[in-house]
Amino acid sequence: MSIRGMDKSLRRSVALRVIWLALTFGSGCLLASGLSQRIAKRKIACKTPEIAGTCYWAHGRLSYYNGNPSVRLWKIGTHRILGIVSGPGAWKRDPLDNEHPELPANVERVHIPFSNQIYADFEICPLEPEVAGQMQDACIESAKNIVVGKYGD
């Protein structure tokens, strides 16, 4: 049966339900988008004006490790491992920051320590000079093209 075949009161009821659903769904989306914007704001800045010129994009694998720092990023195609912290001077504010650094919101949503690892294009901001054979401290400003993999693969 088409809408035209319905009586007037039934059409009105259907129309009101459609409007109610649209308003409910639309306001829920607006609320969710506002919430995600609030969550996305970092407590500790990673890409500060002082280090912004050193930040770069690299494809890598973010994973959780035993040891210090716990969160590490392997730059795929290299022998470089980066120790991830929240940002410049983060360990001064929180001595355990290297065990639970602040990550971009889209990474935080999917990263489950010791359960999965994240492959992505990461915007990395080094926090100290690169030295051959040593892990380098860095923070992750943003990530795109995220793929979640099984831990240990």
Residue 32 CA neighbour count, 13 Å, CB half? 6
Quick one: pLDDT at residue 120? 97
- Beta-carbon count within 10 A of 54 CB: 13
Q: Between β-strands 136-150 and 81-84, what pairing exists: parallel, antiparallel or unpaired?
A: parallel
Q: Look at the pTM and tell me if it is higher than 0.75.
A: no
Beta-carbon contacts of 88 under 8 Å, excluding residues fewer than 6 positions away, are 45, 46, 48, 50, 51, 127, 139
Quick one: pLDDT at residue 126? 97
Q: 90: part of which helix (H) or strand (E)?
A: helix 90-93
Is the predicted pLDDT of residue 20 greater than 60, yes or no? no
Q: pLDDT, tens digit, for every residue of 57-106?
A: 999 999 999 888 999 999 999 999 999 999 998 877 888 888 889 999 99
Q: Is the pLDDT higher at 127 or at 31? A: 127
